[in-house]
A = this chain, B = another copy of it.
Amino acid sequence: METFKLRFIPLGGVVGVTKNMYVYELYENDILKDILIVDCGIGFPMEKELGVDFVIPDITYLKGKADKIRAILVTHGHEDHTSALPYHYKDLGSPSILTSNLTASFIENKFKEFDIPSKVERVSYDKEYTFGGFQIKFIRVTHSIPDTTHILIKTPIGDIYHGADFKFDLTPPFGFPPDFYEITKAGHDGLLCLLSDALGSERDGLTLSEAIVGQTFEDTMRKTRGKFIMTTFSSNISRIRQCVEAAIKFNRKIIFLGRSMRENTRIAKEINYLPIPHNLLGKEEEVMQLPPNKVCLIVAGSQGQYGSALSKLANKMNKNVKIKAGDRVIISSDPIPGNENEVYALIEELTLQGADVVYSDIQDQLHASGHGSREDLKLLIRLTNPKYFIPIGGTVRHQQQYRKLTEELGYRSDSVFLLQEGETVWFTKNKATLGDTIETRNIYVDAYGIGDVGSIVLRDRKTLSSDGIVVAILPIDNLGKLVSRPKLLSRGFVFEKIGIKLFDDAIKLIEKTLKPHGSDIIDATKAKKEAIVLLEQHFFSETGRRPLIMVETIQI
């Protein structure tokens, strides 16, 4: 008789909130048979970026296993669940991608940008899909983006409920409420393990319905005599739709600002998730000509990102749209921890220009979290009755709170696995045990490429950002002799004026040390190294700083 085993490997997402990617491996008689991947998203490094745009999951572990990968399932359209796909898709063997309608459109749009010709399969919620030894069912839930799903993964040794980002929104303003029947049915035959969004595990009660925000939009728009300007995450199609509906009611022309906002709303319009009458869809060039109370701007940049559409408005850098007294700006999202300063700076700027800025500190019902609070999380547990738990999508803090919550429901603390990235869990029939750890590293992506930003580059950037740089140029002859006075250039280190003596002394030091004795031929490489050490010591003892030091020889 064959014996099956299942291994769960989080390549991201377990403790970093973002960069979600999960691997399920099915083994038959200890031979790897089938691999299933859930989500493949980008991440945002916790420490400030130093030129890094984002990180993507490290798929080194999957190298050479592409022939076992049966499918990639995507839970919803947020970037931290989808946007690493273009980078990894080919290396994963270009398997089938299955997901919901809006998510598929978002992914296909990204693929187009990357010239990847593949199509994405839009799932049917009634259907069970078979991939090797896995049987899959997508289940409708609610979140801050339409078409969010959970996934029931049936395996020969038991069923796993992959409960990615969600809340139980009983009155979603768009789309369907959670499919409670399928959720409870998933749990009825006994669930081996529940993976659950844990980000809201510190918050009491049930998360508010997205619908409350629509009423706020309408009430606020009614009272606004100038332009109505709303900013939120550009993937939050439900919220954007509620703003659009209010604008239609008050006959305001709807204008989208910012690339991500234009892109996402274009995709949503294409699949009819964002109907706007033709005559009410405007362009930013029209704003000057329109009466202010006939304008509704929906703007990207709710996190105060530098260079975003909202930041340009606040800094008077948009030539078509000027903030005037009477305008109202609604910031319909909470600052992600770490972005507070940027957001508050924006609010200041906008207020100085006469706008009435409404944000969550002064108005309660501007934003509803997309993530379930403690009662949502408990309810999912009661609906699915799992044996084991793996909290995902939070931080260590959230994992701990999630475990406490399961204890309140009567579970033993050893039924909850608090995993770090790469830590694996082995499932056998009715049993789960912690497995070995897969090594992963951060793969940084910036404007110039993927993965070429290694940890050294990052360390350099960190040094540069704090202590600056000194470049020493050593003129040498073809014998390698120092033939004239070295040159020192610096940036971001010390004021040049203050630096004159400092640099003079440094040059003298180099000359003294590197001047050829008799007919010695200087080893250029050795000379460089010596110069670096000399300069490092000199500058540190004189200034207490450690600028990045570069030494280059030039043959004359």
- Which residues of A are interface residues toward B (Cβ below 8 A)? 168, 170-171, 177-178, 180-181, 183-185, 187-188, 205-206, 211, 375, 378-379, 381-383, 408-410
Which B residues touch A375, using CB under 8 A?
A: 170, 206
Excluding A170-B378, A171-B408, A183-B184, 9 further A-B contacts by CB distance (< 8 Å) are: A170-B375, A170-B409, A171-B378, A171-B409, A180-B184, A181-B185, A181-B188, A205-B206, A206-B206
Number of copies: 2
Q: Top 6 closest A-B pairs, CB basis?
A: A170-B378, A181-B184, A184-B184, A181-B188, A180-B184, A206-B206
Interface residue from B181, B211, B381, B382 paired with A187 (Cβ < 8 Å)? B181
Question: Chain B's nearest CB lies how many Å from the CB of A171?
Answer: 5
CA distance A410 to B178 in the complex (A): 15
CA distance A375 to B381 in the complex (A): 17
Q: Are A211 and B171 CB-contacts (below 8 A) given A177-B382, A180-B382, A184-B180? A: no
Q: Are A382 and B206 CB-contacts (below 8 A) given A211-B408, A409-B170? A: no
The 17 listed contacts between A and B (C-beta, < 8 Å) are A168-B379, A170-B378, A170-B379, A170-B382, A171-B378, A171-B410, A177-B382, A178-B382, A180-B382, A180-B383, A181-B184, A181-B185, A183-B184, A205-B205, A205-B206, A211-B408, A379-B379
Which B residues touch A171, using CB under 8 A?
A: 378, 408-410
Residue from the set A181, A183, A206, A381 with the largest chain B CB neighbour count within 10 Å: A181
Residue from the set A188, A205, A211, A375 with the largest chain B CB neighbour count within 10 Å: A375
CA distance A410 to B173 in the complex (A): 10
Output the nearest chain B residue to A379 by Cβ-Cβ distance. B170
Question: Chain B's nearest CB lies how many Å from the CB of A100?
Answer: 20
Which B residues touch A187, using CB under 8 A?
A: 181
CA distance A181 to B185 in the complex (A): 7
CA distance A358 to B64 in the complex (A): 68
Question: Chain B's nearest CB lies how many Å from the CB of A60?
Answer: 41
Which B residues touch A185, using CB under 8 A?
A: 181, 184
Question: Chain B's nearest CB lies how many Å from the CB of A238?
Answer: 15
Which B residues touch A177, using CB under 8 A?
A: 382
